[in-house]
Amino acid sequence: MRRQPTGGLDDSALDAIVDAVIGRVRNRLSVNVVDAKLSPAAPAAATIGAGQSVTDHPASAFVAHAAPAPAVHVGGRRPGIHDDLDSAVAAAGRAFEEYEAMPLATRYAVVRNMREVALAHLEEMSRRAVEETSLGRYEDKLIKNRVAITKTPGPEFLEPIAQSGDDGLMLIERAPFGVIASITPCTNPTETIINNGIGMVAGGNSVVFNVHPLAKGTSAWYIALLNGAIRDAGGPAELLNCVAEPTIETAQALMVHPGVRLVVVTGGGAVVKQAMRSGKRAISAGPGNP
């Protein structure tokens, strides 16, 4: 088994680094922002561990409490797991249309429940990823998954911005792309799914993942689990999707699929080049996944 060094950083050091980055982003977004919160301020942040849940707070604080696990199977099959790519994209398209008609408060509820359910299964997802891929260490996966679950920005980062001046008032509201293609690696399968998943659905989008074949079992299990959390929060049952048997060919086809509006890639140099040639807007991270 390959081992990934921790670099000597403990939980508190990692939290400090992530909080500093989020603080810089928040400062850039907070200029002339209308203070329109959807819920009262939450209590101060508390320690979060496996089997606990989080409550979204505009200041990125989370409150821990017990989280029930959602039912994974819907209608005898796992929600969001498809036999072919066209079915996955079509399901994502239907989910996006349904999601777009829902109030913004649903996005907060969806992201909150995704965090809760993911934290409740933190140990299982970390163990599954190591056992299936033979990459990394269980104790490191616990740290990386927890950071991705709790620190990925949610819909509170996308609140409207109002600017006024001599020429009048300008209101900026960010609109979703629609269906997003997400290519994920075997090195960080669950971390990438929850990070991309939270960020994309927070913006009102649906997702079709082409996960790495070495992590297809863990990834499909996790996507179905998160879909259950989304459904239980009032969102569409198949907001996250993937093909059960991902290949290089399905990844290539997904990136150029007419039903996809944006391509997001985490992987090696070859897949990044493919994304840049897709003819669509692409967000890519190559070797080292910066």
What confidence tens digit (pLDDT) does each residue in 19-36 have? 776 666 556 544 433 333
Query: Is 31 among the domain residues?
Result: no
Query: Is 265 among the domain residues?
Result: yes
- Closest to 194 (Cα-Cα) out of 227, 229, 149: 149
pLDDT of residue 51: 43
Residue with the bigger pLDDT between 236 and 65: it is 236
Query: Is 272 among the domain residues?
Result: yes
pLDDT of residue 280: 94
> For the ranges 111-120, 135-144, 165-174, which has the lowest average pLDDT?
165-174
Instruction: Give residue 139's domain range.
Output: 81-285
pLDDT of residue 31: 42
What domain count does the chain have? 1
CATH number of the domain that residue 234 is part of = 3.40.605.10
Residue with the bigger pLDDT between 159 and 254: it is 254
Q: State mean pLDDT over 112-137.
A: 98
Query: Is 73 among the domain residues?
Result: no
Calculate the average pLDDT of the chain: 83
Query: Is 46 among the domain residues?
Result: no
Distance CA 36, CA 94 (A): 30
Query: Is 1 among the domain residues?
Result: no
pLDDT band at residue 59 under the 50/70/90 scheme: very low
Q: Does residue 65 have a pLDDT over 50?
A: no
pLDDT band at residue 76 under the 50/70/90 scheme: low
Q: Does residue 62 have a pLDDT over 90?
A: no
Query: Is 186 among the domain residues?
Result: yes
Query: Is 257 among the domain residues?
Result: yes
Q: State mean pLDDT over 125-143.
A: 97
* Full-model pTM: 0.76
